[in-house]
Structure 1
Amino acid sequence: MPESKSRRRPAKGPAQTPSTKAQQPNAVWFVPVMVSLMLLGLAWIITYYISDGAFPIPNIHNWNIGIGFAIALAGFMMTTRWRS
């Protein structure tokens, strides 16, 4: 039985790299700031509840909870950009 001719395969070139910049690890300050924001937001809310609304800012009442959540949310949003 006759054999078929083999096909030429294209030469393998360099591996294709994505057009975006290679992802590098975060700066050394990134993780401490991220954790600090999460803890500061938690401490803000706990302080508001323990002081029965007298602290951290007494005149804005329940907006203290929103501020605490916003600070903590900023820390949690930083976790999406965290690279080791």
Structure 2
Amino acid sequence: MPKSRVRKKAVYTPPKEKPTPQMIKASGPSHPAYIGVMLGFMVLGLVWLVTNYLAGDKLGFMVALGGAGNGFNYNFLVGFGLIIIGLLMTMRWR
């Protein structure tokens, strides 16, 4: 049986400049206020949606946003928007 050809591998050449500690800027942990604001947005959105379901037809500002058969209910947009803002903030949290 014939022997298969051996492939030659390229010779490894290390990068010319290695990153030094001065070139790399380490990011520290997030400020505790950032975490509070992030969680606050998510909890506020959840509270907004629960309030809309439980008492949305009794609160004037929620009725004005489209509750009780006035067309599109913008309360869902507000509640889910607040939750999404909080979730997007989690991507920057360290």
Q: Same fold (TM over 0.5)?
A: yes
Residues 28/52 of structure 1: CA separation in 2 closer, same or farther (3 Å cut) = closer
Q: TM-score, normalised by structure 1?
A: 0.70
Q: Distance in 2 between matches of 1:40 and 1:63?
A: 15
Say if 1:48 and 1:64, in contact at 8 Å, map to a contact too. yes
How far is 1:72 from its partner?
0.8
Q: Who is 1:60 aligned against? A: 65
1:1-84 equivalences in 2 (<5 Å): 15-17=18-20, 19=23, 21-55=25-59, 57-61=62-66, 62-83=73-94
Query: RMSD of the alignment, in Å?
Result: 2.3
What 5-or-longer segments of structure 2 have no aligned partner? 1-16, 67-72
Identity of aligned residues (%): 34
AA of the residue aligned to 1:45? L
Q: Distance in 1 between matches of 2:56 and 2:40?
A: 24
SS at 1:57 equivalent: helix
Q: 5+ residue gaps in structure 1?
A: 1-13
Secondary structure in structure 2 of the residue aligned to 1:29: helix
The 3 A distance-change label for structure 1 pair 63 and 17 is farther
